[in-house]
Amino acid sequence: MVWVLIGVALLALLAAPAMTGSSAKKIDYSAFLEKVRSGEVAKVDVDNETSRISGEYKDGKGKFTTTAPARIPDQDYTLLREKGVTEDYHPPSSNLIGTVIVWVLPIGLLILFWWWMGRRAQGQMAGIMSIGRSKAKVYTTEKPKTTFADVAGYEGVKQEIREVVDFLKSPGKFRDIGARIPKGVLLVGPPGTGKTLIARAVAGEAGVPFMSITGSDFMEMFVGVGAARVRDLFQTARKQAPCIIFVDEVDSIGRKRGAGLGGGHDEREQTLNQMLSEMDGFESTEGVVMMAATNRPDILDPALLRPGRFDRQIVVPLPDLEERLPILQVHAKDKRMATDVDLSVIARGTPGMSGADLANLVNEAALHAVRRGSKDVHMDDFEAARDRILMGQRRESMALSPAEKEVIAYHEGGHAVLAYALEHADPVHKVTILPSGMALGVTQQLPLEERHIYTQPYIEDSLVVRLGGRIAEELVFGNRSTGANNDLVGCTELARKMVREWGMSDRVGPMAWGSQGMVFLGEDLMHSRDYSDDTARVVDEEVEHILRRQEDRARQLLGELRGGLDLVARALLEKETIDGAEVGRLVDQAAGRVVRPDPRAPESPEALTPRKG
């Protein structure tokens, strides 16, 4: 506003001379005297201060202006009178616009500046006085957003949440039977599974005010602000009851009290204490239901999870095969899909992906289709998008020597041959020796069905497959390379879990020592190992024994299928990428028999009845 006013003032200042000017022609003073002598001038008007003379010619020939000397000579006055020129002398005329600009504008700008400073100071004082107010966003019934129809899958989760919504809509049927609705609902699950989306769906379904806030909004640089905001949040909720309060990332303020290096965080603990008091304290919060979401339930304070506060914990897990398909259908709804796209195949090939991962997969496929100039998204685009997400971006600039390519081909061929030949291993989907991400080559396996538990034969076959690349290098080249580093790290970690956590060692027996506590919570800072040094030595020996045994299995099986290994490696050197069916055909061709029957074939009894994980 200030700059606009300054611009208007400058414009007026520049336009003032033009507004006060006239259309008279300017002439020299000597020419003016000649005009007077010749009798052409009818009248003149003299400005006493500037000696500016303006006049008119006789017979309406026009107007003129000239500038006289500072003091007009007497003979010139005499000449004017002799020729009968009408004379008029006056002081300079005042310019109203110029006067306003010179006197009023500075004063007005000064007043405007002090007014602006006062408003700014008033706003700062208002911000300081309102720092204890809650920052929760209130969604009323007039602003419906997401509904349960937009949340694909998770029928059990939606059923439990729907009970809370039904209570807020019609609490009478619950009170008639004496049921008490949970005061708090905690959504627990890995990142990207849709916890916040489910909460937004509650906002659209409840038909009551919905207050949303993030756990970090309670924290401020001033002491006591968090507790004040919690009080203001619940006071506002009570005024609008029935009401739902949703706190996202509640673990930022709900961590265990008194834990951590050097003691706890006093401000966060005071905020948590106030929240505990508001949820189930001396005053009742009838009609106010609190929802929260976290992916770290292990670090929450036990007082926050007791009945009466968060009565119900709803687990939102990673979607299984039946839930991934409708999630993919939701995200593919606004995409132009080609006829060859089979979302059921994509759902089967994306185990362990969350809803956010699936949304990213569909978007990456659409981006890949645009990059290659297609107007529709094809199945190849989904394959490329999945490879990019699982294996990383392909490194086109990396140049490998022929010797390195051969080593990588046999390394990945060892993985692929064992994955095809072993009974309990997941089938091979694709093998490539093209560098992708941090890997020089990748063997990708896809399970036939969803798994929720893993048997010991499956884990042992998985170890054999991981060790297959290293063993293939030994059999073919007689030496080892650094390419098996990632395989050995995964094998060691898996074997150690078999011994320490899953009880799959006969020497150690049915004992489990889980992962150690988190140091930042103070659970493992001064905590010693809960088993003796002798047991630690036995654990190390058992881990070595498991890995040695599976290494021998890999060596024996690859020795039997050496011909298939050579064919697979040669195919990789020629094509750089082959699929699982090609791997099986080459291994069977070299062995002269079907090494592993396809479990999906019609002659398989298990294939006649669909199996669920």
pLDDT in tens, 17-39: 555 445 677 887 788 788 778 77
Q: What's the pLDDT score for residue 94?
A: 55
**Which CA distances in Å does 546 have to 292, 357, 387, 456, 474?**
44, 34, 32, 12, 20
Select the more confidently predicted residue: 12 or 325: 325
Give one word for 154, left, alpha or beta, with left for phi > 0 and alpha for psi -120 to 50: left
Q: What's the pLDDT score for residue 414?
A: 92
Q: What's the pLDDT score for residue 138?
A: 63
Q: What's the pLDDT score for residue 556?
A: 92
- Percentage, residues of the chain above pLDDT 90: 13
Residue 236: count other Cβ atoms within 10 Å of its Cβ.
Answer: 17
Contact (CB, 8 A) for 471 and 551: yes
Mean pLDDT (the chain, rounded): 78
Q: What's the pLDDT score for residue 284?
A: 59
Select the more confidently predicted residue: 291 or 122: 291
**Residue with the two structure tokens 């670090």:** 299
- Identity of the amino acid at 231: R
Q: Where do you find CATH 1.20.58.760 in the chain?
A: 402-608
pTM (whole model) above 0.75: no
- Interval 54-60 mean pLDDT: 78
- What is d(CA 276, CA 256) in angstroms, rounded to the nearest whole number? 13
Any idea which fold 402-608 has?
Methane Monooxygenase Hydroxylase; Chain G, domain 1 (1.20.58)
> Is 412 a catalytic site residue?
yes
Smallest CA-to-CA distance from 54 within 14, 93, 27, 20 is with 27
Q: What's the pLDDT score for residue 601?
A: 42
Confidence of residue 480 (pLDDT cuts 50, 70, 90): confident
**Which CA distances in Å does 336 have to 255, 324, 346, 367?**
45, 19, 16, 12
Any idea which fold 321-391 has?
Helicase, Ruva Protein; domain 3 (1.10.8)
Question: Is residue 589 predicted with pLDDT exceeding 80?
Answer: yes
Question: Is residue 143 predicted with pLDDT exceeding 70?
Answer: no
Q: Which residues pair with 46 in a beta bridge?
A: 53, 89
**CB-side exposure of 495: number of CA atoms within 13 Å?**
25
Domain 137-315 bears CATH identifier 3.40.50.300? yes
Phi, psi (5° rounding) for residue 88? -145, 125
Which residues have C-beta within 8 Å of that of residue 410, sequence separation ≥ 6?
472, 473, 476, 477, 565, 569
Q: Where do you find CATH 3.40.50.300 in the chain?
A: 137-315
| CATH number corresponding to 2-96 | 3.30.720.210
**What is the edge-to-edge ordering of all strands in the sheet holding 288-294?**
137-139, 210-214, 243-248, 288-294, 184-188, 312-315
Question: Is residue 599 predicted with pLDDT exceeding 70?
Answer: no
Q: Where do you find CATH 1.10.8.60 in the chain?
A: 321-391
- What is d(CA 565, CA 557) in angstroms, rounded to the nearest whole number? 11
- Identity of the amino acid at 135: K
Select the more confidently predicted residue: 514 or 376: 376
Q: What's the pLDDT score for residue 393?
A: 67
CA 76 to chain centre: 89
Q: Residue 510: is the preceding peptide bond cis (ω within 30°)?
A: no
Confidence of residue 457 (pLDDT cuts 50, 70, 90): very high
Q: What's the pLDDT score for residue 454?
A: 87
Q: What's the pLDDT score for residue 448?
A: 72
Question: Is residue 75 predicted with pLDDT exceeding 90?
Answer: no
Q: What's the pLDDT score for residue 417?
A: 92
Q: Beta 86-90 vs 63-67: how paired, if at all?
A: unpaired
DSSP-assigned states of every residue in 339-393: TT--HHHHHHT-TT--HHHHHHHHHHHHHHHHHTT-SSB-HHHHHHHHHHHHH--
Question: Is residue 67 predicted with pLDDT exceeding 70?
Answer: yes
- Interval 268-294 mean pLDDT: 75
Q: Which two tokens stand for residue 19?
A: 């507004």
Select the more confidently predicted residue: 469 or 440: 469
**Residue with the two structure tokens 């009478």:** 172
**Which CA distances in Å does 374 have to 337, 346, 370, 389, 396?**
11, 20, 6, 21, 22
Question: Is residue 582 predicted with pLDDT exceeding 80?
Answer: yes
Question: Is residue 171 predicted with pLDDT exceeding 90?
Answer: no
Q: What's the pLDDT score for residue 493?
A: 92
Q: Which of 412, 450, 542, 582 is catalytic?
A: 412
Question: Is residue 134 predicted with pLDDT exceeding 70?
Answer: no
Question: Is residue 71 predicted with pLDDT exceeding 50?
Answer: yes
Q: Where do you find CATH 3.30.720.210 in the chain?
A: 2-96
Smallest CA-to-CA distance from 198 within 127, 313, 303, 291 is with 291
pLDDT in tens, 185-240: 888 888 888 887 887 787 777 777 778 887 777 766 556 677 787 788 888 878 87
Length reported for the chain? 613
DSSP state of 311: -
